[in-house]
Structure 1
Amino acid sequence: MKTLYGIQYLRAFAALAVVVFHAAEKVGEHFAIGAAGVDVFFVISGFIMWVISDRRPMSPQQFLFDRVRRIAPSYWLVTAVMIVGAVVGLFPNLKLTASHIIASLFFVPMRSPSNGEIWPVLVQGWTLNFEIFFYVLFAGALFLPRNWRLGFLSLAFGGFFAFGLIFQPTSPALHTYTRPIILEFLGGVFLAELWLRRWIAGTSLGLACVGASLSGFAAIFLIGADFDEAICGPLAMALVYGMVSLEADGSIGRVPLLTYLGDASYSIYLWHTLAISVIVKIAGFAGLSSAPTVVASVIGGTILGTAAYEFVEKPFRKMFSRTGSKQGALARRPS
């Protein structure tokens, strides 16, 4: 799939927004709108999955295998670091149980023994519970002919959403899988279909979409409104649609730093809270105020994330890529 630089830049900014959100939260400040980076990620996820499946046909099994080997190894490693840290006393507020650890490793939503929230051991891993759910439904669509898939996904996601509205389930799994936020992935799929059909806006409308989205996010921040996926989801969709429209019109070029941060966004997302925790403790001993602490935390979290991208994520990708290639060669070898 050809690199879409607009998507890469959005991935970079979404990851950094989440880093700022967690850094501010750690020192008692508020940057709630930074959590909307997750909404952007979910829309982008649906967009990318649909485009990839259209450009590179694959079996449902291969799709799931590729996605799990893409996200699981790094996540498992960070989770292991969190567990070890909790055992040796670095995270005194983190309570561990065997069932919660197992559920976390296998992307099963479960209430945390630490605070009762539906969070895994690594808190930001809650989004991966959603992603695995998205991938399973998407893999189901791959069993069908191309022209039936969009309808299947619409019925599947719409059905789960409707179930949640009607029955309001309280079990962790059903509560997770029926939240309105799941529709953001479906929204990304619809945007991808528009993009593949070349039903995209021109430069003026693309700029208007981006401007309206950013203005909406800014308004939410300025008035101090609560994070609400019913508002942030459509704003994220407008942002993605505007960016891909501008790129199709030749209005977006390659910016190396942002492209790199987009590549590293997953590792930044996974690892940044570890750096933030350490930096906030050091800043507390040094008597730093909240503003420089947040700045240092954002920088430290981003640096740790990019280091993890280079020394963890990329080596894992190479290792599993070689393994996948060998398995494919064996499968093609005549008996």
Structure 2
Amino acid sequence: MLYSIQALRAIAASAVALRHSMYFVDASSTAAFPVSNYISGLGSAGVHIFFVVSGFIMMWTNQDGSSNWRSFLRKRFSRIYPSYWLIAALSIPAALYLGAQLPDTAEKWFGAFFLLPEGASSLIFVGWTLAYEVYFYLLFALALALGLPAFYRVLWLTVFFVASIFVGVFLLPPSLGFMGLPKLATSVLLLEFAAGAWIGWMATRGFKVTTGGASAMILIAVAGFGLSLWLGYKQYPSVILWGIPSILLVIGCVSLEARGVGQRFFQWLSPLGDSSYALYLIHAILIPLFLAFIPQLDHLGLFAFLTLSFVIFLINIFISHLYFLYVERRLVRMSNQLLAEKTRARRRSQ
């Protein structure tokens, strides 16, 4: 385990959850807080940190070329789907209670169930990012199935992503569509997974930036995120404004840990990194549900707005961590055991 990566997962999930806490409180209030809501929009950068971290983790946990693609898919399936299905199922009665719209076509229900581009956000609105994760995992599994060594695995993924983006920009007819896949498969956001995979590959080879260089990268990353507020993050490609700082942040944090710097801070945040997936899913349901039980927020001042947003955010962290400790870990373990047993049974029958 790299504590720095777990800490980054905690920061990314918390940024997204805090952003949505402030957004929904603002939407539920008769007062308006445009400046605070705009600043909180920076929390969406957590998605970009997640994508870079995901690419890193896949290379870090599958360092050699002998990794079994079946085992890889089994572990990824168990990590993503059982918990998602449980929370998505709970979101249905929540949506009915809140009067929110449910998927209105069989295609969207199917997409929501399997986290396909078309419909991935229909039950849990942050599900669109999970569709990207699933797509990346499938391509990574293909690289493993081809028996590519680590370096060529990352190279193949990078070339494939660049080629896909080129096709999408210059060759793909705008009218072409199948479950939203063309739009996802040609997205520049996929380059963030590739960047994370390259960082992971370098880390497995012992590459690390000097302590001063790593600290500078982190400061530049923080400054870059802040600069996006001044430039107007809605006016420029997020893969540049938030993707590049995310890459620098991952390199800097991993290098610091490799040099034994910042260990206490990374270890302190690490438990929240463990429950980051739970927080990412649960907050999308709990925040609007929680606000539904609060009377109309009339004449809400700025201090009350910020306080309520932060309290709701902390409640989500607490509930998500309990869910991880007592539900999610068991679901992952049970799914892994069940799928492994089915694999062994199939081999015995052959």
Q: TM-score, normalised by structure 1?
A: 0.89
Which letter maps to 1:37?
G
Partner in structure 1 of residue 31 of structure 2: none
Distance in structure 1 (CA, Å) of the matches to 2:239 and 2:128: 15
Distance in structure 1 (CA, Å) of the matches to 2:129 and 2:67: 25
Which letter maps to 1:217?
F
Which letter maps to 2:259?
D
CA contact under 8 A between 1:272 and 1:300: conserved in structure 2?
Answer: no
- 2:140 maps to which of 114, 138, 141: 138
- 1:265 maps to which of 272, 276, 288: 276
**Which stretch has the larger CA shift, 147-156 or 6-15?**
147-156
- 1:279 maps to which of 256, 273, 290: 290
- 1:244 maps to which of 242, 249, 254: 254
CA contact under 8 A between 1:273 and 1:301: conserved in structure 2?
Answer: no
Partner in structure 2 of residue 129 of structure 1: 131
Secondary structure of 1:295 counterpart? helix
Which letter maps to 2:208?
I
Note the alpha carbon deviations across 1:78-131, whole angstroms, 9 max, x for none: 111122333xx3131323323312111112111x6xxxxx73321111111001
CA contact under 8 A between 1:46 and 1:187: conserved in structure 2?
Answer: yes
Secondary structure of 2:321 counterpart? helix
Partner in structure 2 of residue 115 of structure 1: none
Return the offset for 1:332: 7.6
Q: How does 1:217-236 map to 2 (within 5 A)?
A: 217-222=225-230, 224-226=232-234, 228-236=238-246
**Which stretch has the larger CA shift, 251-260 or 19-28?**
251-260
Q: How does 1:293-304 map to 2 (within 5 A)?
A: 293-304=308-319
Q: How does 1:1-335 map to 2 (within 5 A)?
A: 3-28=1-26, 29-30=37-38, 31-54=40-63, 57-86=66-95, 89-97=96-104, 98-110=106-118, 119-142=121-144, 143-146=146-149, 147-167=151-171, 169=174, 171=177, 172-222=180-230, 224-226=232-234, 228-255=238-265, 256-285=267-296, 287=298, 289-327=304-342
Secondary structure of 1:90 counterpart? helix
Which letter maps to 1:290?
F
CA contact under 8 A between 1:276 and 1:297: conserved in structure 2?
Answer: yes
**% identical aligned pairs:** 30
Distance in structure 2 (CA, Å) of the matches to 1:42 and 1:135: 12
CA contact under 8 A between 2:19 and 2:42: conserved in structure 1?
Answer: yes
Return the offset for 1:331: 6.9
Return the offset for 1:327: 4.7
Secondary structure of 1:193 counterpart? helix
CA contact under 8 A between 2:74 and 2:339: conserved in structure 1?
Answer: no
- Runs of at least 5 residues in structure 2 that lack an aligned partner in the other structure: 27-36
Distance in structure 2 (CA, Å) of the matches to 1:278 and 1:84: 11
CA contact under 8 A between 2:124 and 2:285: conserved in structure 1?
Answer: no
CA contact under 8 A between 1:43 and 1:184: conserved in structure 2?
Answer: yes
CA contact under 8 A between 2:92 and 2:102: conserved in structure 1?
Answer: no
Per chain length, whose mean CA-contact separation is higher, i.e. which structure has more relative contact order (CA < 8 Å, sep 6+)? 2
Return the offset for 1:330: 5.1
CA contact under 8 A between 1:276 and 1:300: conserved in structure 2?
Answer: no
CA contact under 8 A between 2:103 and 2:122: conserved in structure 1?
Answer: no
CA contact under 8 A between 1:274 and 1:301: conserved in structure 2?
Answer: no
CA contact under 8 A between 1:100 and 1:121: conserved in structure 2?
Answer: no
Return the offset for 1:225: 2.7
Secondary structure of 1:266 counterpart? helix
Return the offset for 1:52: 1.2
